[in-house]
């Protein structure tokens, strides 16, 4: 499956979660439900995967954890905020760079219409 096919399936799962729960819940609730839906769709998904930080050739355990990683390639960053800000995009891009991933989805579940809360983030590697 290509990155685009994976992201399309994940967006479909996110829409199902949003239809079932609606906006206004904590990020953790959306993370758990999206994790369940992605697994149910037959894709490999990891929750809370550690993301080490290497600085000046020293590997540091700073406690960064990815919300979801799908098929070892697609990073999912989940938010439940009034509006996505530039810092959310920057955070997602930084996670992509640190993990060596090409594509991420930044999903804000606190939207009336979920498609307004989805941003594709690309790491140009």
* Distant-in-sequence, close-in-space partners of 91: CB < 8 Å, separation ≥ 6: 77
pLDDT at 62: 74
pTM comes to 0.94
Query: Which residues, in sequence order, are CB contacts of 66 under 8 Å at separation 6+?
Result: 46, 48, 49, 51, 75, 76, 77, 95, 99
Q: Burial level of 104, CB count in 10 A (0-12/13-18/19+)?
A: buried
Token pair 């239809």 is found at 19
Looking at residue 77, its pLDDT comes to 98
Q: How many domains, the chain?
A: 1
pLDDT score of 56? 85
Give average pLDDT by consecutive 10-residue segment, the chain, 125 residues: 96 98 97 98 96 82 88 98 97 94 98 97 90
Residue 45 structural domain: 3-122
């Amino acid at each position: 499956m290509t990155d685009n096919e994976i992201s399309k399936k994940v967006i479909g799962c996110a829409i199902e979660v949003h239809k079932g729960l609606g906006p206004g819940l904590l990020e953790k609730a959306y993370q758990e439900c999206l994790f369940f839906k992605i697994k149910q769709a037959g894709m490999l998904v990891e929750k809370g995967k550690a993301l080490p930080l290497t600085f000046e050739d020293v590997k540091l355990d700073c406690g960064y954890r990815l919300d979801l990683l799908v098929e070892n390639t697609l990073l999912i960053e989940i938010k439940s905020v009034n509006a996505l800000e530039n810092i959310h995009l920057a955070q997602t891009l930084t996670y992509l760079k640190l993990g060596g991933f090409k594509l991420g989805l930044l999903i804000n579940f606190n939207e009336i219409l979920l498609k307004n809360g989805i941003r594709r983030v690309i790491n140009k590697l």
